[in-house]
Amino acid sequence: MFFQPSNGTHRLNASGLIMTHASDVIAVTASPEKTALVVTFESLGLAPELIQAVADLSFTQPTTVQSRVIPLALTLQDKPVNDLMVSSQTGSGKTAAFLLPVLHTLLLQQQEHDKKQAEEWNEKVVQALAKGEELPKRAKRKNPTQQRHFKAATPGALILCPTRELAQQVANDAIDLVKHCRGLRIACVVGGMPYPLQIARLNNAELVVATPGRLLDLQRSKNIQLDKVQFLVVDEGDRMLDLGFADDLAEVHQLTSNRRQTMMFSATFAPRIQQLGARVMRTPQRVQVDSPQERHSNIKQTLFWADNLHHKRKLLDHWLRDTQIAQAIVFASTQIDCDALAADLQQAGFSAVALHGALSQGLRNRRLNALRDGMVQILVATDVAARGIDVPNISHVFNYGLPMKQEDYVHRIGRTGRAGRDGIAITFAEWRERRKILDIEDFTKQTLNAEMIPGLEPTQRSPRPAGPGEQRRFGKPSGPRRNDRRAGGSPPKHGFGGDARRAGPRPAAKAARDR
């Protein structure tokens, strides 16, 4: 498999579809037995209605993950072992990779059902005419919000997302793709929204996008039945585990035991992801997608060392005043830090808002819409709240607070540089956080280049070890040592150049849980 991107402009919409020139060629392994060339969405064997929706969005060619997953998902649907576990990074078009094959099958089933109903109706009309009776009347659609008309929803496909924002984004993508599909309804159920409204939208919905908590609440209250689900998709499986949804996924697995196919998407095939796959999937086939987005080669990653929090704040202020910044996301470690930093930036004259799990869903939606509409330039967010944010104009990502997990660093910087665009990711780190920086570099297999801003240089030397043949840049203090009390000096300072037993980083404070 290879992917040759063109030198032209790439465009990305909410569903992650990339527009490229027709000269681009993607070699795709559609099955273990044969390799096929896919140059257009028509080559994937999708329904004309879906092809038209993609064309309306001005996209002509599939991305690497789409060209691999879509044919494979369609081929495996009728086989005994048909589950898929896909490793793909954000910005690679994975949303459309699982939406299109699921919607294709649901559409064919809906068309077959409509055809059967039309034949039955025509037969009733013919019989009435033959008997000279009054022609039958079609039943009027009943109001699903009224209790006497209520009927539990029985969707044919279920997509689980770890956060509300991601679920709403996926649902919007699905709505864009079914604009020409008569009879296919999409529903999104997430926490923080009124129950009656979501219950009404569930009526006759064929595809439901949900967060695990709200889905199980509706299932336990008998507002939705999951025994008719044919397709189960778990998006961002790594984040599902981070948020403690493993037991909820196992429960959904039991409730949808009659399904035909399960697909799980994650950034990596880490052991914990494989364990989750073994728990909810049946001998899944793995698809590893190596793309430019996975290496983030189009994102310039830079590290700035800071003496303390005050120094870090000055560095951030310097960068945010750069006129080349279109829109930016500043990541904070906790909800408290998020609110405090957003308020500080507002007082400094920046157009900034905070986004985290403690805010109401309505307020989160309004702030995200303001970001997409260009009314807000800077979004200060936590890791969980930023999942699902897909704003093409985000040119910079700032790691003001380091992530608790190395995987989160990859997801953070993936908010910029979407669809082949160039992006800039800036990381601010204090000296005591050097171990976290090394862990990030080990995970990404990339070295963060440390730079300095004239006038804002750190007073301490860089803690990064020097290469072979160079003098180490830490381990010795810059001035003469005076660590002998008997000589009138001060005791040694633990940390850089101090006691080796205390050279490691102090335990990080536990972050506030972002639900």
DSSP string covering 336-377: HHHHHHHHHHHHTT--EEEE-TTS-HHHHHHHHHHHHTTS-S
Domain co-membership, 269 together with 324: no
Task: State the pLDDT at residue 193.
Answer: 86
Residue that terminates a domain, selected from 257, 286, 315: 286
Domain co-membership, 24 together with 84: yes
Tell me whether residue 353 is in a domain: yes
Tell me whether residue 129 is in a domain: no
Residue that terminates a domain, selected from 253, 286, 319: 286
Structural tokens at position 35: 């390799």
Task: State the pLDDT at residue 37.
Answer: 45
Closest-CA residue to 173 (of 278, 281, 258, 57):
57
Beta carbons of 159 and 177 less than 8 angstroms apart = no
Domain co-membership, 235 together with 379: no
Domain co-membership, 302 together with 232: no
**Which CATH number fits the domain that encloses residue 497?**
3.40.50.300
Beta carbons of 89 and 267 less than 8 angstroms apart = yes
At 395, which helix (H) or strand (E)? strand 394-399
Domain co-membership, 374 together with 485: yes
Tell me whether residue 139 is in a domain: no
Structural tokens at position 122: 């025509």
Residue that terminates a domain, selected from 238, 261, 286: 286
Beta carbons of 229 and 177 less than 8 angstroms apart = no
In this prediction, the residues of the chain whose per-residue pLDDT falls under 50 are: 1-38, 291-293, 466-515
Which strands, in side-by-side order, build the sheet including 299-306?
Answer: 352-355, 378-381, 327-331, 394-399, 423-430, 299-306, 449-450
Tell me whether residue 135 is in a domain: no
Domain co-membership, 207 together with 341: no
Full domain range(s) for residue 182 = 1-110+150-286
Domain co-membership, 225 together with 331: no
Closest-CA residue to 216 (of 207, 226, 206):
226
Residue 344 half-sphere exposure toward CB, CA atoms < 13 A: 15
Helix and strand element counts for the chain (H, E): 16, 19
Task: State the pLDDT at residue 116.
Answer: 83
Tell me whether residue 138 is in a domain: no
Tell me whether residue 117 is in a domain: no
Domain co-membership, 500 together with 426: yes
Residue 271 CB contacts under 8 Å (≥ 6 apart), including other chains: none
Task: State the pLDDT at residue 379.
Answer: 95
Beta carbons of 417 and 298 less than 8 angstroms apart = yes
Q: How far apart are CA 221 and CA 207, in angstroms?
A: 19
Domain count, the chain: 2
Task: State the pLDDT at residue 265.
Answer: 92
Q: How far apart are CA 65 and CA 95, in angstroms?
A: 10
Structural tokens at position 317: 């202020």
Task: State the pLDDT at residue 144.
Answer: 55
Domain co-membership, 399 together with 507: yes
Task: State the pLDDT at residue 141.
Answer: 65
Structural tokens at position 488: 């009138």
Domain co-membership, 257 together with 376: no
Q: How far apart are CA 158 and CA 209, in angstroms?
A: 6
Domain co-membership, 469 together with 504: yes
Domain co-membership, 318 together with 246: no
Tell me whether residue 441 is in a domain: yes
Tell me whether residue 144 is in a domain: no
Task: State the pLDDT at residue 21.
Answer: 30
Beta carbons of 87 and 269 less than 8 angstroms apart = yes
What amino acid is encoded at 268 in this protein?
T
